[in-house]
Structure 1
């Protein structure tokens, strides 16, 4: 989550992340803060965010088996990184929490596998990756989307490297083929 926010919101965002990841109570956590570096507004935001993070953590605990708690909290942070506007993130998170039962579901319906493979046959790797990412997003498969994202991100990285002429065309094509092979294995594994 980028951009410049007022100190109140900066504190809230940071507090949310800390609250989401810990079972400590707020007062236990604030004892470790260096107050000389923080303004009152930031600290108020931190407390609000920490409380929100703890509430989300408790909701996740209620609806998850204990083995999924860590991956579910990481998935919330993944979602937060993807949504620039903090207010939009809060709205999206509420929708995802209502569909938490889908977060770990990974199987893809056969017609979606067929469509993704058609795009690959047309040499449209990016569109195929985006198609599956959109499928995961639309079906609230947040943890699966988080695991899929590095594959999608690899293509963006090598494209940028090619544009900056950090890699030549041959190297780009080899790496692109490796990504496509990994993606084809992913599709085969996730087939319904």
Structure 2
């Protein structure tokens, strides 16, 4: 039981530390940290769409950045906007939400992919902010994710190629060294045989003189 409690404390601390680098936000709010900054700017059809309770998240109710990356909460907000608004009002509301999340360092407004689609459909041709992030496990991916994966794959291929070239060069050098050693040994053997032949010739020649 104690181990489970300690793990919970550790996990909570690790989660909270993710927001340490985000810009400071007021640690209080009349509704919540997401609704307060944009409520007066939202179209009337969406004026209450960000007023949901934050109890379905681990976030402090005033923590804007944390709420931005909670798909279960942001999904409620998105569903409300898609249901209550249409056209330019949808575009305006979603733009305000994305801008808010970017301003506090979250850079994404995370929600299930199906709700991102609902917002686009409700906009009826109006331009909706394209930075919608989807919840983990969704098949969608942003261009930044694809670019990052491509760069990582390219770096891996370059590394493998460099390693292969290095091994090939080392093998070639070792082969060359072995060839030189063999050649030297062959030359030494030939010299020894020649010396022996000359020595035997001299011994034979001298013996004939006596």
The structure whose Rg is larger is 2
Shared fold per TM-score greater than 0.5: no
Q: TM-score, normalising length from structure 1? A: 0.26
**Higher helix fraction (1 or 2):** 1
TM-score w.r.t. the length of structure 2 is: 0.24
Q: Which has the higher relative contact order, 1 or 2, with Cα contacts under 8 A spaced 6 or more apart?
A: 1
